Chain A
Amino acid sequence: MRDLLRIEELTAGYGEAIVLFDVNVTVKEGKALALLGRNGVGKTTLVNTIIGVTRQRKGVIQFNGRDMSRLDPEDRAHAGIGWVPQERNIFKSLTVLENLTAVAQPGPWNVERVFDMFPRLSERKSNLGNQLSGGEQQMLAIGRALMLNPKLLLLDEPTEGLAPIIVEELLRALQRLFREEGLSGIVIEQHAKKILGMTDDAIVLERGRVVLSGHSADLLADSAQLEHYLGLAAAG
């Protein structure tokens, strides 16, 4: 299976501050990667650098055989990278339907399929973005990223701050995307156990460096490693 995303020796940060040091990551086509680590280790910076909103100092980001290093975020999105940021960033003056259609690109994902995946959005299609609950905003953020018809989906803490019942619904949707639809993805999650079961591979970041890399199933089975790198919440 070929590499969809290949990151080599990536160094990135904000202004003068370096956050990521010589990071190497590979995501194979049709595979999902769990990006794990404690708070402040550079997980969001890595995802933001892949989409191009954080400055890359050195290294290579190759996506689908193409060097992304000098491309603007819109060109990376067109190349097939969908991004669901931590803040969700719903377009608040657009309705749910308009949020989806404003960014639509041709492909198998369309409004009907997004509504089929998140029926709750269909019921609220005429509501403005700022009238949605946190869970609905997250569904909309994922739906909007899917409307780009991406080859790779970047999800930054998709379940953060959501009610358990909504978390379950979102995890089922992600499971469907990665397992049934065969979409590639990178998922950042504080609570490792939630996503290790639905991803193929995992890496752990610590202080801006990759300290552990392997199969998700192996890490899930290794309570000692989980405890060591991610703490009690992840291990328990």
Chain B
Amino acid sequence: MSTLEDRVRASLLASRRWHGAEIAFWLLALAVFWLFPRNLLLLNEIAILALFALSLDLILGFAGIVSLGHAAFLGLGAYAAGLLAKHGIGDPLVGLAFAMIVSGLAGLLASPLIVKGNDLTRLMVTLGVALILHEIANSWGSLTGGADGLQGIAINPVLGLFSFDLFGKTAYLYSLSVLFVLFLVARRMMNSPFGLSLRAIRDNSLRAAASGVPPSQRLALIYTIAASYAGAAGALIAQTSQFVSLDVLDFHRSADVMLVLIIGGPGYLYGGMIGAIVFKFLQDTISAFTPQYWMFWIGLFLVLFVLRGRTLIHGGVKLIMSRLPARVRGKRS
């Protein structure tokens, strides 16, 4: 085997290798279960929002598809898992898989509208799809519970062993596990030639096509996958709260997840998670001391953040990510 071949192979594998910072991130995510036992409900919300943001990152950060209606798939997943449980199939993993399939199919059906359009078309189409689903859920009260929400959801213990409790112990570990597994899949996917081809399409769709990458097919595929991820986040909402309301399809869900991704930075998978932590922490902290005006402070933070602070978070994270493997490689050589 030639030296050049060795170096090329090592270089390709390096991007798939786990960095120290990544391992620390996940260990910390697990450790907070014991460090903050009184905040597990909030932590569960963060994990679910992080999964939802990861889903948006797959299409926005990697494929350049903008969406203002990603809540459509979150809501669809939540209602799918909720309805399944309400009608007697309360196993959370079955519900999770069902929600992912339903949302994924919806994503597949919507994808032809997404892949051909430009950014403005995509914004309008995604927004429109979410509004349509919201209205269907609102009008079809006999199925969804309408404005009163879907009630009577009974979820079985996870793996038949761990029951959901009022304090969010099982909920957090369950949501974190689902987030971790789906993150692993996304990480593998984005470090594969498929992930590279998505970034190539985002950079220059025409050039990618002339290099043999079929943009329409790839965008449809990632949109379907992202929709199923959002559906998984929706299922987690339904299962851990045992309630689904119209709120899951609301516009603010789509707007919030976009903000989360902007805060954390798109295109490197961890942005959604970091953004979810910052967003929920701010929301929780600010609303605690000024319950009426917390949106004002969040808004002010976002304005300042976009103007000044974004490069600090993104730059800091990217610096850590780029430095660590370089040191590892340095020691090895």
Which A residues lie at the B interface, using CB under 8 A?
A: 51-53, 72-74, 76-78, 83, 85, 89, 91-94, 97-99, 101-105, 111-112, 115-116, 122, 125-126, 129, 144-145, 148
**Given A53-B206, A111-B8, A112-B2, CB of A98 within 8 Å of CB of B196:** yes
Pair B12/A74 contact, Cβ less than 8 Å: no
B interface majority secondary structure: helix
Q: For the complex formed, measure the closest distance between the CB of A98 and the CB atoms of chain B, giving whole angstroms.
A: 5
Which of chain B's residues have a CB closer than 8 A to the CB of A72? Answer: 209, 214
Min CB–CB distance B210 → chain A (angstroms): 4
Please choose the segment from B23-31, B104-112, B197-205, B225-233 that sits at the chain A interface, where 4 or more of its residues have CB less than 8 A away.
B197-205
B141 to chain A, nearest CB (A): 46
Q: With the chains together, A125 CA to B5 CA distance in Å?
A: 13
Residue positions of B touching A, CB distance < 8 A: 2, 4-5, 7-8, 11-12, 15, 193, 196-197, 199-200, 202-204, 206-215, 267
Please state if A93 and B210 are interface contacts (CB–CB under 8 Å): no
**A101–B207 CB distance below 8 A:** no
Q: Are A77 and B212 in contact (CB under 8 A)?
A: yes
A101–B12 Cα gap in the complex (Å)?
9
Cβ of B211: which chain A residues have Cβ within 8 Å of it?
74, 77, 83, 102-103, 144-145, 148
- 7 inter-chain pairs at a CB distance below 8 angstroms, sorted by A residue, are A53-B209, A73-B206, A77-B211, A93-B203, A101-B196, A115-B8, A125-B11
Instruction: Give chain A residues whose Cβ lies under 8 Å from the Cβ of B200.
Output: 91, 94, 99, 102-103
Contact for B203 among A91, A103, A116, CB less than 8 A: A91
Contact present for A112 and B199 (CB under 8 Å): no
Task: Check if B4 sits within 8 Å of A85, measured CB to CB.
Answer: no
Which residues of chain A are near B202, meaning CB under 8 Å?
93
Contact B206 A91 (CB under 8 A): no
Cα distance A93–B61 when bound, in Å? 11
Most buried by A among B11, B197, B212: B212
Given contacts A94-B196, A94-B199, whether A74 and B204 have CB atoms under 8 Å apart is no
20 additional A-B residue pairs with CB within 8 Å, beyond A89-B204, A116-B4:
A51-B210, A53-B206, A72-B214, A73-B210, A77-B209, A85-B207, A89-B206, A91-B200, A93-B199, A93-B202, A93-B203, A94-B196, A97-B8, A97-B11, A98-B196, A102-B199, A103-B200, A103-B212, A115-B4, A125-B11
CB distance from A48 to the nearest CB of B (A): 9
A99: B residues at CB distance < 8 A: 200
